[in-house]
Structure 1
């Protein structure tokens, strides 16, 4: 391989912008802040609503699109449980007509610990285990922190009146 080809390849890799993970086809995506700010991604995926899970609000949309900001720190102590009902209502109210992107401000591509909770919580019309298995098929390296898994388990118990999924299993 020539030097020019190698340089070109590295430049291409530096410019590569991965797209958000598709959770529900053409409806629900999980991504990061950088992806949420990318107008081309919004256009390509027809995203018209966003759930931003971070301390900082952001203006990421043209007027007329739907936006929900959940102010929580990007930390392991973040309490998302208290926001699950609001997020699920927001997504449920608009779901039939719009595509959503759930994201957090964390810029590391591999850290979806906060944003992964939104698809899991909104899919809890299934039990946690089924929602977890479904999201795991979409994002095979999903491994949210145990504190967030506990919040999802508490959400499951609130919805169903009892805990169905045993989160002590190593899969969680």
Structure 2
């Protein structure tokens, strides 16, 4: 999972990951709510509540985009083993990466022509606005599809705090 992410991110030492969590997401609208709930709970366990609103917004947009644009029609059904989407949260001391894996080989398109009065179509603009960077990479090996990620820089922990 980290290999394609490292291609587009600042150098990240996989052995320095201080926290990682992931969850399978079904091909249903409820997946957006489930992803936010999972993210908020994980950030709470990591004592990162101060960034939870921004990170949950970005996770919501990444999952919504995957549901709308990356799933075949009709979307595959099945249990967690066959869930078409997967959310990954990876934390380093100064960075957090949110990544959504989906089965599509097509990259996300941000054309810069967002209509800010529209009810939809602003997802990648919001991801770009609330994160410190984002990108995507096709998956290699036995996994097909892609991963779309967003990076958040974290404030340094005060002295004496882990």
TM-score greater than 0.5 by the shorter chain: no
- Give the structure with the larger helix fraction: 1
User: Could you tell me the TM-score, scaled by structure 2's length?
Assistant: 0.29
Task: Determine which structure has the larger strand proportion and give its number.
Answer: 2
Q: Which has the higher contact order (CA 8 A, sep 6+)?
A: 2
Instruction: State the structure with more CA Rg.
Output: 1
